[in-house]
Amino acid sequence: MADPRAEILRQAAQLFAQKGYVESSLNELAAAMNYSKGAIYNYFSSKQEIYDAIIIFTLTGLYETAAKAVSEADPPVERLRQFMMAHARFLADNYDCFVTMLVGFSGMANSGLKDDALALRDAHEGLLRRILQAGVADGSFREVSAAMTGRAVLSLLSWMVRWFKPGGGKSAEEVAQEYHDLLVRGLLA
Amino acid sequence: MADPRAEILRQAAQLFAQKGYVESSLNELAAAMNYSKGAIYNYFSSKQEIYDAIIIFTLTGLYETAAKAVSEADPPVERLRQFMMAHARFLADNYDCFVTMLVGFSGMANSGLKDDALALRDAHEGLLRRILQAGVADGSFREVSAAMTGRAVLSLLSWMVRWFKPGGGKSAEEVAQEYHDLLVRGLLA
């Protein structure tokens, strides 16, 4: 195995997404990977530590993917599209991690990494807010609140974890494109 | 106690929302209510049955509250506002039930009430789609897909369970009003 640590996270996310965090055990994880439990302990000292690492991996990847996708040279409406497409694509590519995060983000309450997780979430949301503020500043967007509008954008994308299934029907990027069009143009004829 | 069944559901939702369904027990519920476990068994035969009843109560109330709030005499844009305000208000008034539902809707997988729950959810979404279709039909809305747009509306409202706290900052109805304005008018200046 090229990167056992990454493989443990991948398989653990799959298990947590299927069974829930509370009902999953390291014994099951080891069995699914054809590992000994001791081999897992070489990399992680507890189920909580694996869970925390999944959250940090996911939030780091989400932010970095979006930051890379957004080109400062483009107008804000296009930057917003790049942000939404990148978020949706990363969600589809790391679906089990997002399900794990949705169900158990509150499980970070006792984690030493909670502040890191919140900082990553704020970085992602900050990137989005700056796009919205730029659109208001250059007059292409109405005078909306970046906080409220950013929350709306992230709500649309985050709720995909509850209904979207990778590989069935529309792609995550098609969904993001439709949401972008709706938010930008609005409902009124 | 006027309605012990309703009181059991209310207290159980509070417990599930705080500790999670899996980690909650009927013993704890009984202790919190100053009941014997036997008294609870007079009304419900298992934790799963209580959970199922919370979901059905919530989905029934959500649909009925929205259906009552929507006045067919008003134009679609106002009907959409009524729907969103009613949904947000009911969520704020029954917050623990929504948290329970968010975390554990998949827990209905083995429930005999799963079809009832899906039918209620479809009724609520159907009400919303008809409002959107009416707006497209009378020319006040653009030619949007009612399915996609309805999903967007419900995503915005549903994700409130993850960040909104009743009694702190904006009211649920203020949030719904802002989301309505954003969706109706869009971002473009």
C-alpha separations of B154 from A19, A73, B62, B98, B183 in Å: 26, 34, 12, 13, 12
Specify if B140 maps to a domain. yes
A chain contacts of residue B145, beta-carbon cutoff 8 Å: 178
pLDDT in tens, B1-51: 578 899 999 999 999 988 888 888 999 999 999 988 999 999 999 998 999
Q: What is the dihedral of CA A86, A88, A90, A93, to 10 degrees?
A: -140
Contact B144 A183 (CB under 8 A): no
A184 shares contact with chain B (CB less than 8 Å): yes
Per-residue pLDDT band for A43 (boundaries 50, 70, 90) equals very high
d(CA A9, CA A15): 10
The SS3 assignment for B40 reads: helix
Contact A188 B144 (CB under 8 A): no
B chain contacts of residue A151, beta-carbon cutoff 8 Å: 163
The mean pLDDT of B126-133, rounded to a whole number, is 98
How many domains does chain B fold into?
Answer: 1
Contact A139 B189 (CB under 8 A): yes
Structural domain containing residue B168: 48-185
The more confident residue out of A21 and B138 is: B138
CA dihedral sign of residues A102, A107, A109, A115: negative
The mean pLDDT of B67-83, rounded to a whole number, is 97
A chain contacts of residue B186, beta-carbon cutoff 8 Å: 142, 182-188
Specify if A134 maps to a domain. yes
B188 shares contact with chain A (CB less than 8 Å): yes
d(CA A102, CA A99): 5
What are φ and ψ of residue B141, in 5° steps? Answer: -105, 155
Closest in A148, A155, A188 to B141, CB measured: A188
Number of H helices, E strands in chain A: 9, 0
Specify if A30 maps to a domain. no
Question: Residue A87's closest CA among A183, A177, A184?
Answer: A177
According to the model, what pLDDT value does residue A153 have?
98
d(CA A128, CA B84): 25
According to the model, what pLDDT value does residue B109 have?
61
A chain contacts of residue B23, beta-carbon cutoff 8 Å: 22
According to the model, what pLDDT value does residue A104 have?
62
C-alpha separations of A73 from B36, B115, B187 in Å: 67, 50, 20
Q: Which residues contact B10 (CB under 8 A, 6 or more apart)?
A: B96
The SS3 assignment for B188 reads: strand
Specify if B80 maps to a domain. yes
Query: Residue A52, Cβ neighbours under 10 Å: how many?
Result: 21
Specify if A113 maps to a domain. yes
Specify if A37 maps to a domain. no
Are A123 and A83 contacting, i.e. CB atoms less than 8 angstroms apart?
A: no
d(CA B55, CA B57): 5
Contact B187 A20 (CB under 8 A): no
- pLDDT at B111 exceeding the cut of 80: no
The SS3 assignment for B165 reads: coil
d(CA B38, CA B26): 10
H helices within B20-145, ranges in order?
A: 26-33, 37-41, 47-69, 76-93, 95-104, 114-137
C-alpha separations of B68 from B20, B62, B81, B83, B121 in Å: 32, 10, 13, 9, 16
Amino acid at position A142, single letter:
R
CATH number, residue A103: 1.10.357.10
Specify if A21 maps to a domain. no
Per-residue pLDDT band for B104 (boundaries 50, 70, 90) equals low
